[in-house]
Structure 1
Amino acid sequence: MRELFTSAARAIRSPAPLAVRVLRQLASVNILDSATRLAAQAFLSAVPVLFVIGAFAPQYVRDQLITSLHAVMGLDGSSLDDVQKVLGAEEGEAKEASGAVGAVVTLLSATACSRALQRVCERSWHLPAAGLRSIAWRWLAWLGVWLVALLTQGALHINLDAGPWVGVPLSLLASLLLWWWTQRLLLAGRVDWLPLLPGAVLTAAGVVALTWSSRLYMPRILQRSTDQFGPLGAVFTMLSWLITLFTCITVGIALGHVVARETPFDRWVRMRAPTGRAEQ
């Protein structure tokens, strides 16, 4: 009997298998709920941001955004025409409709997506919420860098036409740097750079794989949805795509925490344990 209790105690104290740790991590982050919330925030923020860009951005920025949306999401046909109508409005009329105050309010409300992503990062690393003073400016910084990254996606995907050996590494490198920096920024510097690398790699791989495949199937699905259900079909398809995108992002960040505690990354994690104290 004593040996039975001893073996049971050892089993309780022994580390859980990797599969169990992965499942626990995904459950604690609440993958589907987090991805759906991020997709909804991104969609609600994207529409007014398009109006602001159409009102205040130069013409070459609008053209670049259209190219990027076509390359990343596979927008084509009537869906792309609708975006072009928004971005192609006359400058004076668009500014009058938007207004400077409306543009500022729109950009501030767009930080809802970065706030939701911050909570995903904190849950993934089991950290308390950062103080408003140390994190508020980071929401705007992430939004600005994300918009710049979106505008450059068209150029990156144009390079894909020169051959996958050029475009794929470029896309992977750009996405890896973006999501590596994103975690460090939204965690307010409470986790070192090296432990965040596995999550950046996983997230970049998922995002690049999705954008590659989107070029193949999204134009047909969007056209079919629009033909059957009108604009509501396109909205539903776009939301489904965004949910898939943020599922890849959420899973990548969440599993990065698990992988960072596996050999050889566990040595880097032990260098400095995550703390609840944020950088100012």
Structure 2
Amino acid sequence: MPMKPSGAADRSSRFGPLHRLISHSPVGRGWRRSREIELWSRSLGFAALGLLTLVPLLIIVSSADPEHGRGFAQWLGEGLGVSTASMRQVEQLFTGPGQALRTTTAFGIAALAVFGLTFGAAVQTGYEKVWGLSPARWWARWRHVMWLGVLTGYLYVSATTALRREPLAGGAVVSLSAVLLLWWSQRLLLGGRIRWRALFPGAVATVIGLLGLRVFSRLVFSPLIASNTVTYGPMGTVLVIQSWLVGVGIVVFGGALVGRLLHEELPRMAHARKRRR
């Protein structure tokens, strides 16, 4: 029978307790659950459907009010947190605020609706995997319609609101409204099977993650837009936007997973603290 080298045995005995400690910690449980729900694969699917759904939807929504709307390029640039030079590269990819509505066809709107409902189903499936729930019945598809309608309204308000001129007040209102939207989205798409109180930490964690992603985008994606445009042309900007959407998917599903862990671990930690006393 082959014997382990003494050095490997020493390292195993040395790091074994640390490995067991991490494995049984909330971080270890969260890592295992992220692998169980296939977080990376779901984020890639989120990005693909987001590019087919969110980008056209945002273009149309931001064009609905050409007088006060900012246009999708400016909306996306602010979401990415890019610099002025990178913003110009983003603006070159998209039409002006008033042109999208004039050139949109009935077939385009129908395709957008189909992709939008599929996108809602993908988000619902991700939430169900996070909470370990069985798939909803087929007649629950009306929730995707309602969710897409509310999302459209929220995007319209965020694209045309005058609060953007007040950075502090506007930022607070946008963050609070995002928490409420994500809180309600989880409750709706999960069919009320999880209590409101259990879903709230996930909504807060997702918004915090989105704010962190904006800072990361400012530091990483903004320079990438400039360099990729030189190397790949306009397609380089598309690649950066696609990567950003993957990050959004990780934050959306990862935030819900962090919310579940907080909901489960905080009472357990409080109980363990009482027992020590």
Q: TM-score, normalised by structure 1?
A: 0.75
Return the offset for 1:122.
0.2
Structure 2 equivalent of residue 276 of structure 1 = none
Matched, 1:121 2:127: yes
Return the offset for 1:120.
0.7
Amino acid at match of 1:184: R
Return the offset for 1:206.
0.3
* Distance (Å, rounded) in 2 between the aligned partners of 1:103 and 1:16: 49
Amino acid at match of 2:230: D
Residue of structure 2 aligned with 1:70, choices 40, 59, 77: 77
Structure 1 equivalent of residue 274 of structure 2 = none
The sequence identity of aligned pairs, in percent, is 27
* Distance (Å, rounded) in 1 between the aligned partners of 2:193 and 2:212: 29
* Distance (Å, rounded) in 2 between the aligned partners of 1:39 and 1:149: 20
SS of the equivalent of 2:110 reads helix
Amino acid at match of 2:200: L
| Pairing of 1:145-224 with structure 2 (within 5 A) | 145-153=150-158, 155=161, 157-160=164-167, 163=168, 166-215=169-218, 218-224=221-227
Matched, 1:254 2:257: yes
Compared with structure 1, are the counterparts of its residues 199 and 226 closer, same or farther at alpha carbon in structure 2 (3 Å cutoff)? same
Compared with structure 1, are the counterparts of its residues 158 and 224 closer, same or farther at alpha carbon in structure 2 (3 Å cutoff)? farther
Paired positions, count: 242
Say whether the 8 Å CA contact 2:59–2:72 is kept in structure 1.
no
Matched, 1:131 2:137: yes
Compared with structure 1, are the counterparts of its residues 72 and 158 closer, same or farther at alpha carbon in structure 2 (3 Å cutoff)? farther
CA deviation string 1:146-186 (max 9, x = no partner) = 233334445455432xx4xx454333312211111111011
Structure 1 equivalent of residue 92 of structure 2 = 81
Mark the runs of 5 or more structure 1 residues left unpaired by the alignment.
Answer: 1-14, 268-280
* Distance (Å, rounded) in 1 between the aligned partners of 2:221 and 2:28: 35
Structure 1 equivalent of residue 244 of structure 2 = 241
CA RMSD of aligned residues (A): 2.9
Say whether the 8 Å CA contact 1:171–1:208 is kept in structure 2.
no
Say whether the 8 Å CA contact 2:61–2:152 is kept in structure 1.
no
CA deviation string 1:33-70 (max 9, x = no partner) = 1111101110122454366558x834247535444223
* Distance (Å, rounded) in 1 between the aligned partners of 2:64 and 2:172: 30
Amino acid at match of 1:79: V
Compared with structure 1, are the counterparts of its residues 22 and 50 closer, same or farther at alpha carbon in structure 2 (3 Å cutoff)? closer
SS of the equivalent of 1:84 reads coil
CA deviation string 1:187-217 (max 9, x = no partner) = 0111110011111111111012223443565
* Distance (Å, rounded) in 1 between the aligned partners of 2:70 and 2:250: 29
Structure 2 equivalent of residue 271 of structure 1 = none
Structure 1 equivalent of residue 42 of structure 2 = 34
Q: TM-score, normalised by structure 2?
A: 0.75
CA deviation string 1:203-253 (max 9, x = no partner) = 111012223443565443222211221122111111111111111111111
Mark the runs of 5 or more structure 2 residues left unpaired by the alignment.
Answer: 1-22, 271-277
Say whether the 8 Å CA contact 1:25–1:258 is kept in structure 2.
no
